[in-house]
A and B are shown apart, each in its own frame.
Chain A
């Protein structure tokens, strides 16, 4: 059956790639957008756009957070940064949903909730599906790793066709060239993202080491990882709580750089401890230093020894994936490379269909081929539309509305569902790709306008005048991407090969025979 290694790898590439392509596309698009999660967080919280300059008040923020989670043992506060001027608070109370809020850095007031850019980040790592989602994303990452390696093996002219892109003839050749181009030239990035993406969550699904080394005791494992030791509880309330602002100032001075988090442990106990974790944005592996403060006196106690060597390697690998280092420019590079990955996946789906033009036509829409085409249009064209709609929903839903964060997420899902249904209905007669890409383009073009109408103080013009480049950047980026989607809509209006397969235009016999085999993205010589 598959008598050469290359053929078996072609088999692997086709089927491992196909079953995972839609999930992977959603993960890739989510991850690409999550490159700017904090910036989107900021954009989606207009209450932050007109802050008066001044120092942040961590104490006020801690007070609000304690009020929201009176029984939490540990609070986390993230001080303002260049990317997001709010103070972020995180707390967990047993038996209650996880608290993740944005607080006004001046007075600690709660800022109207939104799913924020964090929505894409969560979508990226668990598809908004909790632990099960983490497993699914891990499996998808493994399949991506396999598809990449088998893809290189079956691409018989990797070096010969390194620079080749032939857009003009149209049809399968252009799609295949596009797929090879984005796959091969982006390969170092894709391989890195796939492997680091899989290992980033390894303690959720690769627990063998902890089972053997620690008899499955995750708490002890995490303690060994962080290189920290926890204070012993004294079972009496603390006399007072030290000023977080003073601790933050002191920590910034000692670290000579930004603090990523303040962690307040044992809030209700005299053993209250506050630690400041360095942001370490000048290192790929991120912050290593962890300063410990006495929670009642605010005095500096010392510094943790830091994580063990192997964990530092892990932090380097996950740091490569999470790209919190090196400033905005490198996030742009990741963003563009992530978009390249989306193109690689979208063109792959197209190649799969184009290779099977005749079977697809013969089988009709009520078949596996029809399902593939429906998923293609629903995911590849539907998800970008839903993502832009999320930004629209953020501005159009009233900010005073109770439960508006949930409604934003619902509108994302609803639009995606509607787009998919529309795409499927139009598959038989019509141009679903043009419809959805065109709508996405229109929503992107109109985004700055809508923003200016609903939030005049946050408009593109206002933010340029205020030299608020983070805010202006998002509106401004919508325009070239609108152009891109308009172009996609335009090329989807061109007559499909699928519809007019003329026997006279069929390629020579030998290559017909080849294209009917299940061989995927292999160059036909």
Chain B
């Protein structure tokens, strides 16, 4: 269960960062254009978190099932972010941050025995 929520949260965080890295969406959220540096940082964080999620799922359940786990949670997280942001943008960002932080915390301090 923890692993599932972590995967979903990391992928959700990844999509949130990748989305906010796009000037058009950043403007919708904050009213101003992002600086080029901020855009790039968001994009890097976005790709890194989804890579991390993939590494974790493969480590957790091997290549075949792990890839399915990652891909399915990746799609659902994207849909959740895109559906949430027009209605509750602040909550959507908050969820990305808190969810990502919580899953990192859980992974570092309560590592699953199957993972490490």
Interfacial residues, chain A to chain B (CB-CB below 8 A): 162-168, 181-182, 185-186, 188-189, 282-285, 316, 320, 325-326, 329-330, 333-334, 336-337, 340
Contacts and interface: CB of A to CB of B under 8 A. Distances in A.
B72 A330 contact: yes
A325 B65 contact: yes
B79 interface: yes
A284 B82 contact: no
Q: Which 8 A-B pairs have the closest CB atoms?
A: A333-B72, A284-B64, A163-B19, A185-B78, A326-B65, A329-B4, A185-B79, A165-B82
B111 interface: no
Contacts of B87: 167
B79 A334 contact: no
B83 A337 contact: no
B25 interface: yes
A189 B86 contact: no
Interface of B: 1, 4, 15, 19, 22, 25, 61, 64-65, 68-69, 71-73, 75-76, 78-79, 81-83, 85-87
A189 B1 CA distance: 22
27 contacts: A163-B22, A163-B25, A163-B85, A165-B82, A165-B85, A168-B86, A181-B82, A181-B83, A185-B79, A185-B82, A186-B75, A186-B79, A188-B75, A284-B64, A284-B65, A285-B64, A316-B64, A325-B65, A326-B65, A326-B68, A326-B69, A333-B69, A333-B72, A333-B73, A337-B72, A340-B76, A340-B79
Contacts of B72: 189, 330, 333-334, 337
Given A336-B76, A337-B75, A163 B65 contact: no
Nearest to A282: B65
B69 A330 contact: yes
A168 B85 CA distance: 12
Nearest to A319: B64
A167 B71 contact: no
Nearest to A285: B64
B46 to A, nearest CB: 12
A165 B88 CA distance: 12
B76 A165 contact: no
Which of B15, B22, B86 has the most CB atoms of chain A within a 10 A radius of its CB?
B86
Contacts of A181: 79, 82-83
A337 B72 CA distance: 8
Contacts of B61: 326
Nearest to B8: A333
Given A189-B72, A325-B65, A166 B86 contact: yes
B3 to A, nearest CB: 8
- Give the residue among B25, B64, B73 with the most A Cβ atoms within 10 A: B64
A155 B19 CA distance: 19
A492 B33 CA distance: 37
Given A163-B25, A165-B82, A167-B86, A188 B71 contact: yes
Given A181-B83, A185-B78, 4 more contacts: A164-B82, A165-B83, A188-B75, A326-B68
